[in-house]
Amino acid sequence: MKKNNLYFLLNISIIMLIIIFIIIANKKFDSYVIRILNLCAIYIILGVSLNLINGFTGQFSLGHAGFMAIGAYVSALLYMSPELKEENFFITPLIWPLSVIQIPFVFSLIIAGLVSAGVGFLVGVPCLRLKGDYLAIVTFGFSEIIRVIFNNLQNVTNGPIGLKGLPIYTNLWWSFGIAILTVLVVKNLINSSYGRALKSIRENETAAEAVGVNLFFHKSLAFAIGAFFAGLGGALLGSFIMTIDPNIFSFLLTFQLIVIVVVGGLGSITGTVISAIIITVLMEVLRSVEAPMNIFGLHLPGIPGMRMLVFAILLMAVILFFKKGLMGKKEWFWDGLFKKCFPSKER
């Protein structure tokens, strides 16, 4: 038990360090760096929640963009002021109760998460009979259906025009706060008895059922919790980029998240956090290769899209050298760290 107390203190001190870091970042860093930091945190939220479904429960889902879309729209429609809504919905007016409501950002976040979790549960139920590729196809279909519905539901979502000029509520406190919350909740869930049941479903469904794991309950649990945090992530993203339209939440976004999860390691929270940060930062850093440059007296004009090429090569390298992602299924919490640092103290 002593060890657990030590780990608890270390966890607290890490959170304190992050808080201090945010205070310094807010004062010293320019808005460009802060923007990247925000994106890192949002991708951590989305990656970890996707990993709960794909990595830990082993249900290969491609529906994350759909959950994010729901979260983004639900929250935006709740925290936008009535005047802003009127400005936005100039073709078809917004339906009645929504057009006059305005609630604080916190509550809109919670409701966005809950609605998304509810939809996640509903998606989870019919998907319970499907496995592997078939599940991937159905969940992909779900996220496309959400996109098409949002494109056509003029009087609720404003259709393809989208919502513009959203107030910026997302800041480092919100994004990192929710990222920490996500990591803590998923970590505690995974290390609990319920988490072991989720992993047992990934390992062998037949055996899991035979030792009394209720497949229906546990799969929909994973979908609901994953969708909840995807909803929160979507809401934060919406208020962060200030404008949302249904086509942001296309398959490409899900694909980006899948890349984060796979590179980090399916079934590793620490891996997802690390790869979310690396990939978000790389996407920005690699912009430099698109600029015109001189190599050995050779003038290269800037090639737009070059960054994706370099990115793809890096990805291939990762997949070649780390077949199970950077971390595999391992975690890098204090236990492992101590064993690495003080191998003599073992036994």
Partner 1 sequence: MSVLKADNITMQFGGLAAVSNFFVELKEGELVGLIGPNGAGKTTIFNMLTGTYKPTKGKIYFYNKEINGKGVDRITSLGIARTFQNIRLFSDLSVLDNVKVGAHVHIKSSVWKAIVHWPSYLYEEENIHEQAINLLKIVHLENLKDHLAGSLPYGEQRRLEIARALATSPKLLLLDEPVAGMNPQESKDLMKFIQEIQDKFKLTIILIEHDMKVVMGICKRILVLDYGKTIAEGNPTEIQNNPEVIKAYLGVEATSYA
- Please give the structure tokens belonging to residue 217: 């309950």
210 is a site residue for partner 1 (CB under 8 A): yes
Least separation, in Å, of the C-beta of 147 and partner 1?
31
330 is a site residue for partner 1 (CB under 8 A): no
Contact 201, 53 (CB under 8 A): no
294 is a site residue for partner 1 (CB under 8 A): no
114 is a site residue for partner 1 (CB under 8 A): no
Segments in the chain forming alpha helices (H): 2-28, 31-51, 64-79, 82-88, 96-100, 105-127, 132-152, 154-157, 172-190, 193-203, 205-210, 215-241, 251-264, 269-285, 306-321, 334-341
Nearer to partner 1, 83 or 203 (CB): 203
Beta bridge partners of 244: 163
Residues 14-73 that bind partner 1 (CB under 8 A): none
188 is a site residue for partner 1 (CB under 8 A): yes
Q: Tell me the Cα Rg of the chain.
A: 21
Q: Which residue has the tokens 């107390």?
A: 5
Nearer to partner 1, 209 or 290 (CB): 209
Around Cβ 325, how many Cβ atoms within 10 Å? 24
Least separation, in Å, of the C-beta of 185 and partner 1?
6
128 is a site residue for partner 1 (CB under 8 A): no
Q: Using the rule CB under 8 A, which residue among 192, 300, 308, 317 binds partner 1? A: 192
Q: Return the closest-CA partner of residue 139 out of 151, 130, 148.
A: 130
Least separation, in Å, of the C-beta of 164 and partner 1?
37
Q: Using the rule CB under 8 A, which residue among 211, 295, 298, 341 binds partner 1? A: 211
Q: Return the closest-CA partner of residue 38 out of 275, 245, 280.
A: 280
Q: Using the rule CB under 8 A, which residue among 129, 164, 196, 287 binds partner 1? A: 196
Binding stretches for partner 1 (CB under 8 A): 185, 188-189, 192-194, 196-197, 199-200, 202-204, 206-215, 221, 329
